[in-house]
Amino acid sequence: MEKQKVNVSMAVIRRLPKYHRYLSELVEKGVTRISSKEFGRGLGLNASQVRQDLNCFGGFGQQGYGYNVKELRDEIADILGIHRENNAIIVGAGNLGQAIANYSGFRGSGFELKGLFDLNPRLVGIRIGTVNIMDIDEMEDFIKKENINVGIICTPKEAAQETAERLVNSGIKAIWNFAPTILNVPDDVIVENVHLNESLRVLAYLIKEREVQNGI
């Protein structure tokens, strides 16, 4: 049954991975059902927030029973598309590109890392995690041959736009962008930007606020 409604806010979508992670932990611990109150408490959210979020998708809980943990986890995985197989490549095999290539969580999130590309010939052939670094000139053919639908940009900022254009011209419709720049891409291309420094600045702000509250 298709439960997803069309206009779910990004705020809700951004909480779903957290729900999924917590429910997966509960499944591992053998917990079979949970009330919205306990669920919210475990995540530091209130029960009505959790109920409201899950209602966006048609609601999963039963009155007086709570949620079936495994069913809810699987439903959220479906909503997030975690069971889909997205094939990804990384462009830019420097510090960050190599660290991401070594990340073991791709598969559990619905992605498979198929390749890693760089223009530096000295890096070509080196194995990182499960893939070898390939020459950037081979990228376009690889994208077509391996059915790649996601590009991960880890090049320097100056090369990011050109890289995005090469990816898009090869048919890629989704980009995970780590370069600190706004990519200019056609409307039908999804760009998810990830910037650690934005998160760090929020952390700095929260530390400062805590100090103000504590009168430090």
Mark residue 190 as left, alpha or beta (left: phi above 0; alpha: psi -120 to 50; beta: remaining): beta
Give, as ranges, the residues between 111 and 170 that touch ligand NAI (CB under 6 A): 117-120, 123, 136, 154-157, 159, 163
CB 136 within 8 A of CB 118: yes
Site size for ligand NAI (CB under 6 A)? 25
Supply the DSSP string of 128-177, one letter for each residue: ETTEEEEEGGGHHHHHHHTT--EEEE-S-HHHHHHHHHHHHHTT--EEEE
CB of 94 to ligand NAI, least distance (A): 2
Written as one letter, the residue type at 216 is I
Q: Which stretch binds ligand NAI (CB under 6 A): 40-48, 52-60, 142-150, 175-183?
A: 175-183
CB of 74 to ligand NAI, least distance (A): 31
User: What is the H or E stretch that residue 184 is in?
Assistant: none
CB of 14 to ligand NAI, least distance (A): 17
Under the criterion CB under 6 A, does residue 95 sit at the interface with ligand NAI? yes
Q: Which stretch binds ligand NAI (CB under 6 A): 2-10, 45-53, 72-80, 189-197?
A: 189-197
Residues constituting the chain: 216
Per CB under 6 A, residues contacting ligand NAI are: 91-97, 117-120, 123, 136, 154-157, 159, 163, 178-180, 194-196
